[in-house]
Structure 1
Amino acid sequence: MSENQEAVAEHRDTEALLGVLDAADRLSSAARLRVRSYELLRLAPGSTVVDVGCGAGRAAGELAEQGVRAVGVDPSPWMLAAARGRWPAAEFREAGAEELPFADGSVRGYRADKVFHLLQEPARAVAEARRVLRPGGRIVLVGQDWDAIMIDSADAALTRTIVHARADLLGAPRAGRQYRGLLLAGGFDDVAVEVHTSVFTDPAMLPLLARLAEPACASGAVDRDRADGWLAEQRGRAEAGRFLAAIPFFVASASASA
């Protein structure tokens, strides 16, 4: 595949992911989680707050509207291009969670939402967060537990296989339940953890199920016919108003030690 073809494929993947993220962000449960994460940051007007893995920039844009210097960070130039177009009041920089473009102790708040499960070494990201946060600065981590996704289905065993197979392809699928341990090991104080379960019944969330089934099928955990049958059942449930998926989201917060 040529570099141009790879760029086109990445753009298509980003557009597809944006569609899923936008549908999820519009849900009231997602809005409540974002608001709760902002509360836990204990925002100080004029201070610098970084949103790591900012994606299309919604959280960074909303934070900027609350009077802080909001900087969204993401490794994807495609995502950053979308973010800059949507949220001009925020700043955006290309970087990964393990190597942030900030001086030591220069940040008042650090937020990462649905990021740590993608990392091979979440502890490195926690150490980097500790480096950039000033003493007393706040960190807030939000994310789902990929092993604990619940989907109503006539075939519970197949559903478990698909969920767990997809989880096993991620860097740290159980990072959410590990937030507390990661923050304590990283030297943070006042560590607290909440769990908020989001329930999805809107057919607009069906692409989320495809993003579970397709990788599970590609990995060989489920054959094509069974994956297609499972997705067909879920489409039928959606058409009948019987679709349901529930995902527990962990919200961890802590303060940087002096």
Structure 2
Amino acid sequence: MPETHTAYTDTDRLIRALDAAEATPGAATLRARSYQLLRLPPDATVVDVGCGAGRAVAELAERGARAIGADLDPAMLAAARSRFPGIDVRAADAADLPLRDGDVHGYRADKVYHMLPEPTVALAEARRVLAPGGRIVLLGQDWDTVVIDSDRPELTRRIVHARADTIPHPRIARSHGNLLLDAGFHDVGVEVHTAVFSDATALPLIAGHAEAARRTGAISDEQAEAWIREQNGRAAAGRLMIAIPFFLAAATR
């Protein structure tokens, strides 16, 4: 059973990384802002698509919503049920939600659309399940504009772009507003929030970028090692600086 063990180890590692990121004050503030933009009436039904380990589903339920989580990863769903007993999470594809037409008052997707094979199909499904006047909120980072301070700016640009190129839709977050307009939503608004990381908690992100760039052949093993070494040194000296723009788009059905 080594494959199963490895899969769960990877999921556990991902959950720990998500927990660390979601626990930062900036992340909590951004989630709260996304809930506010849903404009949910009391006891409203909301679906969180790509719910992962369930934190947003639990927080929305705490705010009085009838929250439903949807995710395709069975390990994530199991983690969500274990961590937040009693929440409603379901195995479902963003393009085929187990909901009737107009079933929900709110739809939320956080760091999801960049990985979807057909984002426009998912948006059509969002429009189907939302009641007239319901609200949709899309949140995601722009992978192509990650800012990392370095003594090797050209190498850093190459690493950032190589990492972005491994993602199906790395720049989709900057297009969230226009995608919502194209899908027939109105009252569209877009906000940009910048997450800044300056300590060692961001080093796994650094390592992931370097590994992706090395794996694609954009940089050599030696360049990856040297760049990671520089960033580790910056973290140890309190000089690490990473800034990531997050686009928050909201609209009305």
Q: Same fold per TM (> 0.5)?
A: yes
Offset at residue 10 of structure 1 (A): 2.1
Q: Which 4+ stretches in 1 moved above 4 angstroms?
A: none
1:58 match: 55
The residue matched to 2:169 in structure 1 has which SS? coil
Q: State the Cα RMSD in Å.
A: 1.1
Matched, 1:75 2:72: yes
Any conservation in 2 of the 1:193–1:251 contact (CA below 8 Å)? yes
Query: 1:39-188, aligned counterparts within 5 Å?
Result: 39-188=36-185
1:32 partner letter: T
Distance in 1 between the 2:117 and 2:152 partners? 32
| 1:253, distance to aligned residue in structure 2 (A) | 0.2
Could you tell me how far apart the structure 2 residues matched to 1:117 and 1:49 are?
Answer: 21
1:175 Cα deviation after fit: 0.9
Deviation at 1:245, TM superposition (A): 0.5
Q: Using the alignment, how far apart are the partners of 2:65 and 2:78 within structure 1?
A: 21
- State the Cα deviation string for residues 92-127 of structure 1 (Å, max 9, x = none): 111121111111110110000111111122111111
Equivalent-residue separation in structure 1 for 2:115 and 2:165 (angstroms): 11
Give the Cα separation in 1 of the matches to 2:213 and 2:72.
Answer: 25
In structure 1, what is the Cα distance between the partners aligned to 2:86 and 2:244? Answer: 31
For residues 18 and 182 of structure 1, the distance between their equivalents in structure 2, rounded to whole angstroms, comes to: 29
Alignment deviations for residues 184-239 of structure 1 (CA, whole Å, 9 cap, x no partner): 11010101100011111121121111222212211111111211211111111111
In the alignment, the residues of structure 2 paired with residue 143 and residue 135 of structure 1 have an alpha-carbon distance, to the nearest angstrom, of 25
Q: TM-score, normalised by structure 2?
A: 0.97
Q: Does 1:31 align with 2:25?
A: no
Q: Does 1:19 align with 2:16?
A: yes
1: CA distance between counterparts of 2:5 and 2:12? 11
Which whole-Å CA distance do the structure 1 matches of 2:162 and 2:226 have between them?
A: 17
8 Å CA contact retained: 1:61, 1:89: no
CA distance in 2, matches of 1:121, 1:222: 30
What TM-score do the two structures reach when normalised by structure 1?
0.95
Q: Does 1:220 find its partner at 2:217?
A: yes
Q: Is the 8 A contact 1:20 1:208 kept in 2?
A: no
Paired residue type of 1:126: L
Q: Which amino acid aligns with 1:56?
A: A
Residue 196 of structure 1 aligns with an amino acid whose one-letter code is H
Partner of 1:246: 243
The 2-side partners of 1:205 and 1:233 are apart by 14
- The whole-number CA distance in structure 2 between the counterparts of 1:89 and 1:201 is 36
Q: What SS does structure 2 have at the residue aligned with 1:192?
A: strand
Tell whether the 8 Å contact from 1:61 to 1:88 is kept in structure 2 after alignment. Answer: no
CA distance, structure 2, for counterparts of residue 77 and residue 46 of structure 1: 28
Counterparts of 1:189-204 in structure 2 under 5 Å? Answer: 189-204=186-201
Q: Deviations over 1:152-194 (max 9, x none)?
A: 1111111111111111111110011110111011010101100
Where structure 1 has 5 or more consecutive residues not aligned to the other structure, the ranges are none
How many pairs does the alignment contain? 253
